[in-house]
Amino acid sequence: MPWTAADAARHKQGLSPEDAAKWAKIANAALATCQAKGGEDCEGYAIRVANSQVAKTDWQREFAIRKTDADQRLVFGWLSVAVDKAGNVIEDHQGDVIAPEELEKAAYAYVLYARRAGEMHQKIGVGDLVESMIFTKEKQAALGIPEGVLPVGWWVGYHLSDDKTWQKVKDGTYTAFSIGGHGVREVLAEANGKEVTG
């Protein structure tokens, strides 16, 4: 089913006409990618991807692609943020948080053992990691970055070798990074005033 901007309101309320059109474009791209890979529940997957990418809150905007270099096909931004600039623990769309020390371990393991870019958590090998930095409070202090200037998070850069993926970054279909991986979910006491898992 290709979605139109008019379909967006059934899945996410309060979108501007521009965001509704963006929602449809992202949903259709995610649906096509999932179906091409023989995925399951591709419509649900596409809706979740589109919902996560439009009408973002301030902390979600941190994940937006921050810089591209068209000549070198490079893309840069925050892959994951554990704590925002104001010191708030960040909760993802599934209600999970990643402790800064766990994010740091995951980043090091990724750099040691993976380094390959994926597309929509389906297709691996669309590019390669060229930059990775975990900005912990300690590292920020060591670099002379005052507290509250940067979030505690993982900054990355990728060279995208896959033509179709690069085109989707250029045309705005892909606007942010999304961290993937495996973990053990544990109930945490509280973050930002409510119980969450991590």
Residue 55 confidence (pLDDT): 57
Instruction: Assess whether pLDDT exceeds 80 at residue 92.
Output: no
Q: Tell me which of 50 and 113 has the higher pLDDT.
A: 113
Could you give the CA distance from residue 175 to residue 26 in angstroms, rounded to a whole number? Answer: 10
Q: Which residue has the higher pLDDT, 52 or 184?
A: 184
Residue 51 has pLDDT above 80, yes or no: no
Chain centroid to CA 188: 22
Give CA–CA dist 90/155, Å, rounded.
15
Is the pLDDT higher at 133 or at 172? Answer: 133
Q: What is the pLDDT of residue 94?
A: 66
Average pLDDT estimate for 159-174:
93
Q: How many CB atoms lie within 10 A of CB 176?
A: 17
Q: Amino acid identity of 30?
A: A
pLDDT, mean of residues 154-165: 96
Query: Per-residue DSSP letters for 69-121?
Result: ETTTTEEEEEEEEEE-TTSPBP--TTSB---HHHHHHHHHHHHHHT-EEEETT
